[in-house]
Amino acid sequence: MDPKKVQAIEEWQPPSDVHDLRSFLDLVNYYRYFVKGYFEIARPMTDLLKMTETWNWTPQCQASFDNLKRAMVTNLVLALPDMSKPFVVETDASNFALGGVLMQDCHLVAFESKKLKDVERRYSRHEKELLAIVHYLRLWQHYLLDSPFVVKKDNTVVSHFMTQSKLTSRQTRWQELLAEFILYWSTEPAPAIMWQTP
C-alpha cells in the first residue's frame, strides 16, 4: 500500500457525520480484498450509512473503525500460488457476509469477503454456507479447475445438501458447478485426504 495512504489511514480521526464516514470507507474500500473479513469488520459503519435518522456513532462503530484502521496498516504477506501443490479452500458465512481463504501448505494465497445482498440474507444457514463455497470456487476457479483440492467445511452442511430429496433450481445450478471441480470435502487437514484414491 502507498505509504501516504497508510499515513492517511493511521491519522484519520473518527467520523463526525455521514460525509466523513463515506470518505473514510471510500478510502479503505479499495483495499478490501487485502483485509480478511472486511465486510464483517466494517458492518457497524456501513449499517450507519443506511440510517435515515440522526447520527449515532456507537461504541460498536468505534471498534469497527479502529479494527479496520489496524487491519489496513498491517502488512499481510500472501504466498505465490504453486500449481504443482494442492490448494485448500475454507469458507464461512454469517447473516451479513461471506468469507473465504485459499491456502497451500498452510500459507495464505488469497482471501476475500463479500457482503450478502438482501435476498441472500434470507437464505437458510445451509444455503448461505453453500453460497460461500460456490462463490469462492467461482472466484478462484483459475487456480482450482484442473487439479484436485480440498474444501474444508462442516460435514452437516455438505450432507444436508447432498441428501436433500428435492433441490431448488438455485441448488441444482450449484450442484452443476461443483461437478466441474475435482474436490474433496474434509474437516481434516488437507494432506490426510488429498492423495486418497477417489
Supply the pTM of this predicted model: 0.67
Residue 101 covered by a domain: yes
Residues 115 and 187 in one domain: yes
Beta strands in the chain (DSSP E): 87-93, 97-104, 107-115, 149-152, 183-186
Are β-strands 149-152 and 87-93 bridged in parallel, bridged antiparallel, or unpaired?
Answer: parallel
Specify the CATH number for the domain of residue 157: 3.30.420.10
Q: Tell me: the pLDDT tens digits for 86-140?
A: 999 988 888 888 888 899 988 888 888 888 999 999 998 889 999 999 999 999 9
> Once rounded to an integer, what is the mean pLDDT over residues 8-16?
85
Q: DSSP of 8-32, one letter per residue?
A: HHHHPPPPSSHHHHHHHHHHHHTTG
Question: Which range of residues forms the domain containing residue 93?
Answer: 87-194
Count of residues making up the chain: 198
> Once rounded to an integer, what is the mean pLDDT over residues 20-35?
80
Alpha helices, DSSP H only, in 76-124? 118-121
Specify the CATH number for the domain of residue 24: 3.30.70
CA atoms within 13 A of residue 123's CA, in its CB half-sphere: 23
CB of 14 closer than 8 Å to CB of 23: no
Residue 186 covered by a domain: yes
Q: Rounded to the nearest 5 degrees, what angle is found at the Cα of 134, between the Cα atoms of 128 and 136? A: 105
Residue 42 covered by a domain: yes
Please tell me the predicted confidence (pLDDT) of residue 34: 73
Residue 82 covered by a domain: no
